[in-house]
Structure 1
Amino acid sequence: MSADDTDFLAQRFEAHRGHLRAVAHRMLGSAAEAEDAVQEAWFRVSRSDTDRVDNLGGWLTTVVGRVCLDMLRSRKSRAEEPLDSTPHGAPPSPAHAAPADPEQDALLADSVGAALLVVLDTLTPAERLAFVLHDLFAVPYEEVAAVVDRTPAAARQLASRARRRVRGADVPEDDRVRRRRHREIVDAFLAAARNGDFEGLLDVLDPDVVVRSEAGVTTGAAAVARGASAFGSAALTARPTPVSRHALVDGAVGVAVLVDGRVERALRFAFVRDRIAVIDIVTDPERVARLDIAPV
């Protein structure tokens, strides 16, 4: 690979670095190890032919997933040791000289939660990877299967077993309080949307909130608030006479909207510092049927 090609690849890698670091952090539970995993991913990517890669972000997530899987498996056979910062002969990482961002580390730690990390440590490496990739990052089971070297059906079973263990674990008081607070935030969001309360929506939305649905993606608090307040309940609920229930939707805090006792659509939320950072709205009947929805 020429120097120009390496520089171009480094720029593309850097554009995905934050996402890759977040994936690795949730896999490994350590900011330092997450940096090591991203370093190793860069080493592997820099030695690969990426010309035929259509979805670089998805491919890089797969690479980082495999690196993390190797690191998790190594914990079973030896005491943890810091990895070399740069493998011998590898080109320098595009952001190798940049120090870790303490604020970003705090955001990641807050979104994971100490209790979840403890539970994740009880899972096998493959279960942990399947759960994190699918439930926290919405990676399709087909791609998860490629990382863990299983069939998509087996990858689904791995994630399902992990999900049951996570839900069945004892939840410390601070996590119960956090979950209750998140449900209150969701209630405030839905009430503000129904009432067309623009300011109330801005109060509970992260400035960089992302809303994803079959209709597309909306980003930014102002845009999301405008859409929610303009469409009100019609944008978030169903007819006739829907009933909304708090639920865990694929393991995340969410809302199930029922019509005649059947789940007609589901909303799944993610939070950063007590504000809504991601809203996934699923309305397609086939996708709804595949969701794991547990009433709260």
Structure 2
Amino acid sequence: MDEVAEFAEHRPRLFGLAYRMLGEAAEAEDVLQDAYLRWAASGPIEVPAAWLTKVVTNLCLSRLRSARARREKYVGPWLPEPVLTDDGRLGPLETVEQRDSLSFGVLMLLERLTPPERAAFVLREAFGYRHAEIADVLDIDEAHARQLYRRAREHVGEPRRRFTASPAHREEIVLRFIAAAVEGDVAGLEKLLAEDVVAWSDGGGKVTAARRPLVGTSHVARFFCGLAAHPRAAGMDIEIRTVNGAPTVILSEAGALYMVLAFEFTGDRVAALHSVLNPDKLAYAAAHGM
């Protein structure tokens, strides 16, 4: 197998790793390009998967340090870039942990971690690495790897289980959400929301968006009914796709991607909503089939 074909074989898993580490798809692509250049110049590698995992992880660690400074200056809430997950782009999503580690809620919680803690968490939770393997990737001893993972779990906490309902049932909830919002049915929308539901909007200062999260069924229901009643909404196309492992609303205007609205679920209720409107955040998704 030539080097291009062999790298391509590992690419989905590596992209899934880089994206979980960074929360930015375009940056993850840049990391993979850098990793490929190192791969092409390296000569024969005894265990390619391990070598590439180590290179990608360490490239991400370097980028996370500069990303943190950028995100501290970000206008309004920072949300991850949305990525389609119905095309295998992010590698296998066979387990709850693999899917959960892609959700907007978990990716936002990972922002609390130091870069090494984030690496330990992602390698352990999403890829099932043993502590000894994590230690090898990070060039630390096993005890330190265990400590990093333990601290990460403490900071992240126990995320709500968002996958208790079947995919079909979750999509049904999303459809009911859309119908209630379009009809202006505030009471009907409130019934779909968890009592402590939170709605986040990311405009990045580029487009109009709420600068602070909305909390509570009444505020969130009225906000989305108001959005649906806006004259501009009448001309938009609505589609449901699987994004970051969950059914997601895609809004387009005149053929251009306008907003991605991602849902988190607790049982049969919506626990959180994440609206990505920043055109810079949508550029990757628009260029890759969304």
What TM-score does the superposition give when structure 1 sets the normalisation length?
Answer: 0.45
| RCO comparison, higher one (Cα < 8 Å, 6+) | 2
What TM-score does the superposition give when structure 2 sets the normalisation length?
Answer: 0.46
